[in-house]
Structure 1
């Protein structure tokens, strides 16, 4: 693993970086078909079939990409997850490029790539067709381009325009890159360099980014900023991955994992206290500002993850002497890498048997694992309930679910087997599916003549009385596989009759953000 060998590679990138990225992509593809679709994936697939300028909780880019890619690969789970695997591999390379841009030697670039590859939250989201997967990749690209633009001597407009273009695309993935850029601006105002901010480049970049982000921003403004209501729900603990504010700081490092967490801390300390990194001190301040914003607003710990590749890159440049000696002994380095990577992989990826002790521990650390288990059984159960609806009532029957994952699973089943089976091994008939949750609520209520309703999920007694006039009868209960703790476990499935008010009258109550 000598530096001379590391230095050889395509376009100046060490071969070790490319090898690390390839291994990450290959590993993610190997486990891509494990467990099942995540509730968010099911939601995005359906969301992309309802084109618009935006959705209440997300810009439109990822839903459109998810729906298109899902159809292109024939709905196969492993193939559906190839794109996020590739995006994660790109993130690994971007970390190495950031390290090189900051002055890191070839060995440090390889360590930056390996550290990013072993970042738990990046590896875990890389397994899913998640907005976070593409958000982290695009944010890492924006930070790299920003570092290049700030460090360019003499200052030029071109690098800033590339930064603005990438930022605009990133903002159509998620609004979070906007907070990252705001944090970087605060860092530069506090620590410098301030000279680039006096030129036209940053402001042209900002204008370009805003133009590209305008569809989502204008839609949000026209609809009363529902994304803020979603954020408030998250801050109140309404999401499985929400965390108390006091837990955000330790949790975000726990999500990073031992290797990346160590490099992030080393990187931040070096940025704030090392004279030779003074020109990049704003990056360390940006991290602290972003972490403070997430804590104050009650955001999720992984919201800081977009800065992880850059911070890992800086940490890789500060390797202590004992780490350097370890890297000089390839056999020992590989052994240590395996030891530290196994726990991260077990917690981040679907490796443990469902319901096993390791699965339960991983579920506590990474709740997303539980959200990918049990959907075929759930679809089959709803299909069985639908089969009990008399033939003459079926044209006037709909399903109403309490969350978008439940609705997305049923919609996907109907689309894969229209008119014949419930899909995913569940033969039978499924009625049209509706929900009031997030974007589903904005897609509108069922037709007014839909009087028979199969209701999935828990209803408040007052809601049941107002919407269905107390006509609901419980038919069965959803049971997740043993050892799986998710939102569907214990959810009742009831058959109801719509009350006299009608769907249009009650839809504002049914629709909710969270």
Structure 2
């Protein structure tokens, strides 16, 4: 009986951390299922959904993985907003699970796993990016998976984790090239730390390396065929991207994680200073390098969000070692504060209220706290709701207004195409428009593949926010047909023009815009 009881206790102790980790993964999933539809499609989501209708190995302005997810989601769940968001939610839940297992591999017990998983669940930055069909949620997953694979290999020396490293890095690149920042930072930090004695034999490295190249081969071939548009796009973004000053980046770094900042900052310090974990020091240095590079390059917080599961895992382990010296009440209070702050910030990052309810909540938040940064838009202006909420509104309304204009005959007949340089507007018109809507074309994004090489039509509908004399020079006859006014929306201020016989300069500009990303 004693032996049987001991065996049962041993079995429970083995399975307990795994069940705890799975519990937090399910909790993360349930949080996002409560408001999956939100206010509608986000601007980026419509773009990826439309691009995902055809399986492609690459695009001029994005990596293809997110469009593959859109394609698979459509096959599995149908063409609905809820269907397109299920897989992102599952990936975000998997990221929580990976965070838990990183903590476990570091030596963390129940409290460490609880703190680490709670920190990533309760971080407003992760709450905001965990349910949308965007590269960010998959970026977080692959960064976390790569970090876990490196930790697991250093701990076990099992070749299987080298395979996992190769797969995580390859698919991470297919999602966003930014994962290379983590990979190169980790490699440089590893060399700095002088851990070359732990290099696997080349025979162990060769098969995972071949798998890595095999996964990337079709995409690399596409880039070569197209003349490496990724470099052209990156150069263009560098010219036009809104500046993010260092102080604002640091503000996002320390405040957009809410109370979870206490966990990730402890994890970073612990990684660098803990003498008992010298084998992971290179990950601490790599983390500092990633943060420093993003600061210098004026990056945005979500560019490096995938770094934080690693820091949360180490932070959970660090806090466990400190809180074990205190009573259980202190441990519960510490963890509880993470959830209290998350509840207060929930309406700011997940659309659980109506649009009016959300605006009221945020106005009261600003009035009581004076903290208005969540309402700041990329162009420096301030709205009544966060920009990523505003980018979910009025797409069907826009399509209705454009369709009405397209039905109106002009002096030289109806327009045969609709032109816009805005990827989100083009995506919305393609998504919500019916067969009667003229062909939607765009030259400064991946829709250029579905657009004619030259602008030969004599009558077109043109959507832009441009006004003044310049707009009058782009065609022989320029008629303002409608203007969209929609407060706190992506489409506010959009003007719908009908152009009759576009000018030679306008046609040449269209052709140059196409050649900006592709060879022909």
- TM norm structure 2: 0.84
* Structure 2 counterparts to residues 264-275 of structure 1, below 5 A: 264-275=264-275
Contact 1:403 1:436 in 2 (8 A): no
Alignment correspondent of 1:401: 420
Q: Distance in 2 between matches of 1:161 and 1:70?
A: 30
1:22 aligns with 2:26: yes
For the residues of structure 1 that align with 2:335 and 2:506, how far apart are their CA atoms? 61
Task: Tell me the SS of whatever aligns to 1:99.
Answer: helix
**In structure 2, what is the equivalent of residue 426 of structure 1?**
none
- Shifted more, 52-61 versus 445-454: the winner is 445-454
**SS of equivalent to 1:393:** coil
1:13 equivalenced with 2:38 (yes/no): no
**3-state SS of the aligned residue for 1:389?**
coil
Deviation of 1:370 after TM superposition, in Å, equals 1.6
Distance 1:308 1:192, change over 3 A: farther
SS at 1:112 equivalent: helix
Q: Mark the CA change 1:198 to 1:69 in structure 2 (over 3 Å): closer, same or farther.
A: closer
Q: Which residue in the other structure is 2:186 paired with?
A: 184
Return the offset for 1:74.
3.3
8 A contact 2:459–2:502 mirrored in 1:
no
Which residue of 2 is the match for residue 159 of structure 1? 161
Cα distance in 1 for partners of 2:264, 2:324 equals 15
* 8 A Cα contact 2:419 2:462, kept in partner: yes
Distance 2:207 2:273 in 1: 32
2:376 aligned residue (364, 367, 385): 364
**Residue 95 of structure 2 corresponds to residue 91 of structure 1:** yes
Structure 1 position 280, deviation (Å): 0.7
Pair 1:469-2:475 in alignment: yes
Q: Distance in 2 between matches of 1:373 and 1:258?
A: 30
Q: Post-superposition shift, 1:122?
A: 1.8
| Aligned counterpart in structure 1 of residue 56 of structure 2, from 38, 52, 56 | 52
Q: Which moved more, 1:308-317 or 1:199-208?
A: 199-208
Q: Within the alignment, does 1:226 sit opposite 2:229 as a pair?
A: yes
> 1:262: how far off?
1.5
1:100 maps to 2:104? yes
| 1:444 counterpart = 2:478 | no
Structure 2 counterpart of 1:310: 310
Asked whether 1:380 is paired with 2:400, we answer yes
Q: What does the per-residue CA deviation read over 1:241-280, in whole Å, with 9 as the maximum and x for residues that have no partner?
A: x622453233233332221x21111011111111112111
Between 1:200-209 and 1:27-36, the stretch displaced more is: 200-209
Q: 2 CA distance for matches of 1:136 and 1:100?
A: 19
Deviation at 1:383, TM superposition (A): 1.7
Displacement of 1:214 in angstroms is 3.4
Pair 477,110 (structure 1): closer, same or farther in 2 beyond 3 Å: same
Classify the secondary structure of the residue corresponding to 1:143: helix
Which sits farther off after the overlay, 215-224 or 40-49?
215-224
Aligned twin of 2:382: none
Q: Equivalents in 1 of 2:322, 2:336: separation in Å? A: 18
The 8 Å contact of residues 51 and 64 in structure 1, kept in 2 or not, is answered as yes
Residues 1:509 and 2:512 aligned together:
yes
Q: 2: CA distance between counterparts of 1:100 and 1:63?
A: 33
- Measure the CA separation in 2 of the matches of 1:140 and 1:195: 25
Is the Cα contact below 8 Å between 1:235 and 1:298 reproduced in 2?
A: no
Change (3 A) 1:224 1:357: farther
- Would you say 1:412 and 2:431 are equivalent positions? yes
| More displaced stretch, 211-220 vs 266-275 | 211-220
Cα separation, partners in 2 of 1:205 and 1:461, compared to 1, 3 Å: farther
Q: Alpha-carbon deviation of 1:411?
A: 0.4
Please, which of 490, 493, 504 is the counterpart of residue 493 of structure 2? 490
**Cα separation, partners in 2 of 1:504 and 1:206, compared to 1, 3 Å:** farther
1:317 is displaced (CA, Å) by 0.7
Task: Kindly indicate whether the alpha-carbon contact (under 8 Å) linking 1:9 and 1:15 is maintained by their aligned counterparts in 2.
Answer: no
Unpaired stretches in structure 2, ≥5 consecutive residues = 1-7, 364-371, 378-385
Q: CA deviation at 1:128?
A: 0.5
Q: TM-score if structure 1 supplies the norm length?
A: 0.85
CA separation of 1:27/1:457 partners in 2, compared to 1, >3 Å: closer, same or farther? same
Gap change, CA 1:147 and 1:412, over 3 Å in 2: same
State the Cα distance separating 1:401 from its structure 2 match. 1.5
CA pair 10-120 structure 1, distance change in 2 beyond 3 A: farther
Name whichever of 344-353 and 372-381 sits farther off: 344-353
User: How far apart are residue 29 of structure 1 and its match?
Assistant: 1.4
Deviates more, 1:195-204 or 1:339-348: 195-204
Which of residues 451, 456, 464 in structure 2 aligns to 1:457?
A: 464
* Aligned counterpart, 1:125: 129
Count, aligned residues? 488
Q: 1:457 to 1:125 in 2, by over 3 A?
A: same
> How far 1:114 moved relative to its partner?
1.0
Return 502-511 or 81-90, whichever deviates more: 502-511
Q: CA RMSD in A?
A: 3.2
> By how many angstroms is 1:390 displaced?
5.9
